Structure 1
Amino acid sequence: MGENIIKSICWDITSRCNDNCTFCYRNPDNKELDFESNKIILKKLIDFGVDKISFVGGEPLLYAKLYDLVRWGIMYAEGKTKFSITTNTILLTELIDEEIILKEREIKKILELFDWITFSLDAPNREIQSRMGRNKFHYERVIKILQYLNDSQFSKKIKINTVVSNLNKGYLIELYQMLCKYSIKRWKLFRFLPSRGNALKYQDKYYISETQFEDEIKKIKIKNKSDQILITTNGYENFDNSYITISSDGKLVVYNNGKYESKINLLYEDAEKILQYIDIKKHIEKRSDFIKIERIHEGQI
């Protein structure tokens, strides 16, 4: 095993998605690798000492062998690597006559399998959430799950991601209060990033300046002075070296100088080569929230 050099990697295990968010910057054209190929990549990442692997997408639950891959990874890592998932919750619910019904068995499955589960929520009500461009029932889906998990043994595993844009600025304090209500302990806010795909196409609709973004964050942090929620942020300057991504076709993708670049193919090359394309010191500094979060998770602070 390695010595936990890389703090966190996001793995776009599939580029497929069952939603079509108009601020999304995923690349929908990447092919998807088979189970054995992904197992080779996962082994390399664990051997290299990656602290946390986050399965994202696309919608990672659309990858048919996801659970098998994670179960194998948990067994192989022997506690050295933590596993996370970011899901849009569509496959965790059913829609019957416009009523959201939870798939409790599926929810319990990911709660038991993953160390962290991330849902996205951008507003404190359905109206503003709908303006953000996710699916029609996104707000109801997430709230229904948060209600189900509130005060349960699993609530500490939940993280919320929020895209901050011109459409939802001014509503984040209300959202903060809602997250407190549902016992959320970790919240990450991203400044809308018009890098590619839908996000680039609809950038005029969502664009928010760095000053506006920082003003919103300051208001939230004043409200959160007792640190009820661990809040982290990503403006544009935070993306370089912060997020190390593997695409669904196995390539290392880094975000530098405002654009995504594909580098080595981890199916054929050693994970150590990742270090040629990132500033590891800056990566560790920018992912320091992960270290603090793990201590919270383990009850040390």
Structure 2
Amino acid sequence: MNAIKTRQDSDKTVIYNKLKKEVLFLGDDTSLEKPVFAIWEITSKCNLNCVHCSSSDLEGEMTKEECFKVIDKLDDSGIFWVQLSGGEPLLRNDIFEILSYLRKKGIDTEIYTNGTLITKEIAKKLKILDVDNINISLDGLKQSHERIRGRETYEKTVEGIKNCLDENLDVVLTITLMKSCIGDLEKLLEFAIQKGMDKVKIIDLMPVGKGDALYKKEMLNKNEMKNVVKILKKYSDRLLIIPEVPYPLLPTSLIMGTGRISGSC
């Protein structure tokens, strides 16, 4: 148990430092005159058609050269932490050049991905480029996950997770809370532990895009959310839980820093 506690304390320090970069801690001693964190939807293209997707299907995307100019501006502005999302970021043919340029500028980077495109080769490239976090979405076990994200996606996602872990990449299992798959939550946490992951991000369904039509049907009620918190507390000594759920229902043990909770796209 002492070993687990030591690891957890170390992980919490790492996450604290990273989240501080995301301007989540806004006490008197952390006031900022300019932003240091950016969320960048680098493409709207995606290889899946998830029923709860909040992204917009926009035509066209920035060229590599335009992306480099954006990175230059981010660097000049003092940004040193960027979340790359989509769409599916790994669909860009130039994604590794973009990641390399971000690293060249000293900007820490994390990727939000569905994980289905992460082959062994891609995982090796992500490791070489020293990507800080790989956030991979897994919303339930096979039946639940594929009802949301499409047929034959579960095994591909699990394989993508394995490939990242084999390269010792920092994988954050990202779970979207929905009424139709909430019964799988505890099994997903067990899955994370079994695979050697130590961080899980819990996010609420967003009433944006296709998620808007599902929100009333799939959003959790107060009692269901309390049960979620109960489950998360049960695993909090083995996993670092990064919550993005309705603030009033979070126990203080799951709230970070000065009372803010994690936020991302």
Shorter-chain TM band: 0.7 to 0.9
Distance 2:258 2:68 in 1: 26
Taking the TM superposition and a 5 Å limit, the aligned residue runs for 1:28-107 are 28-29=57-58, 31-77=60-106, 81-92=107-118, 103-107=119-123
- Do residues 234 (structure 1) and 244 (structure 2) align? yes
User: Whole-Å Cα distance in 1 between the matches of residues 259 and 231 of structure 2?
Assistant: 24
Q: Does 1:111 align with 2:140?
A: no
Specify the code of the residue in structure 2 equivalent to 1:191. D
Tell me: higher relative CO, structure 1 or 2? Use CA pairs within 8 A at least 6 residues apart.
Answer: 1
Q: CA deviation at 1:170?
A: 2.6
Gapped regions of structure 1 (runs ≥ 5): 93-102, 239-282, 291-301
Q: Would the aligned equivalents of 2:136 and 2:171 in 1 still touch at CA under 8 Å? A: yes
Q: 1:58 to 1:85 in 2, by over 3 A?
A: same
- Tell me, in whole angstroms, the C-alpha distance in 1 between the residues paired with 2:258 and 2:49: 32
Q: Deviation of residue 27 (structure 1)?
A: 0.9
Q: 1:285 to 1:13 in 2, by over 3 A?
A: farther
CA 1:288–1:210 in 2, change beyond 3 Å: closer, same or farther? same
Deviation (angstroms), 1:53 = 0.8
Q: Which amino acid aligns with 1:119?
A: I
Distance between the aligned counterparts of 1:89 and 1:138, measured in 2?
Answer: 9
User: 1:166 is matched with which residue?
Assistant: 179
1:212 aligns with 2:224: yes
Tell me how far 1:26 sits from its aligned partner: 0.4
- Kept in 1, the 8 Å contact 2:203–2:245? The answer is yes
Q: 2:26 aligned with 1:9, yes or no?
A: no
2:47 to 3, 7, 18: 18
Q: Does 1:141 align with 2:156?
A: yes
TM-aligned CA distance change 1:153 to 1:14, over 3 Å: closer
Aligned counterpart, 1:202: 214
What is the deviation of 1:289?
Answer: 8.9
Secondary structure of 1:90's counterpart equals coil
Task: Tell me the TM-score normalised to structure 1 length.
Answer: 0.66
Residue in 2 aligned with 1:221?
233
What letter corresponds to residue 144 of structure 2 in structure 1?
A: I
Q: Superposed, which structure 2 residues align to 1:117-128 within 5 Å? A: 117-123=134-140, 125-128=141-144
Aligned partners of 1:191 and 1:213 also within 8 Å:
no
Which structure shows the higher helix fraction?
A: 2
Please state which structure has a larger fraction of its residues in strand. Answer: 1
| Superimposed CA distance per residue, residues 66-123 of structure 1 (whole angstroms, 9 cap, x where no aligned partner) | 211111121122xxx211112222323xxxxxxxxxx321221123221211111112
Structure 2 CA distance for partners of 1:73 and 1:168, relative to 1, 3 Å: same
| Structure 2: unaligned runs, 5 residues or longer | 1-20, 22-31, 249-256
Is the alpha carbon distance of 1:187 and 1:200 closer, same or farther for their aligned partners in structure 2, counting shifts above 3 Å?
Answer: same
- Give the residue type in structure 1 aligned to 2:175: T
- In the other structure, the counterpart of 1:298 is none
Q: CA RMSD in A?
A: 2.8
Instruction: Give the TM-score normalised by the residue count of structure 2.
Output: 0.75
CA change 1:17–1:289 in 2 (3 A) is closer
Aligned equivalents of 1:87, 1:200: Cα separation in 2: 21
CA contact (8 A) 1:210 1:235 kept: no
Deviation at 1:41, TM superposition (A): 1.3
Displacement of 1:204 after TM fit? 4.1
- Note if contact 2:136-2:161 (Cα within 8 Å) is conserved in structure 1: no
Seen in structure 2, the aligned counterparts of structure 1 residues 148 and 31 have a Cα distance that, compared at 3 Å, is: closer
> Would you identify which runs of 4 or more consecutive aligned residues in structure 1 move more than 3 Å?
4-8, 145-150, 283-290
Aligned identity (percent) is 22
Answer whether contact 1:14 1:32 (CA < 8 A) is retained.
yes
How many residues were matched structurally? 225
Instruction: Supply the AA of the counterpart residue of 1:139.
Output: Y
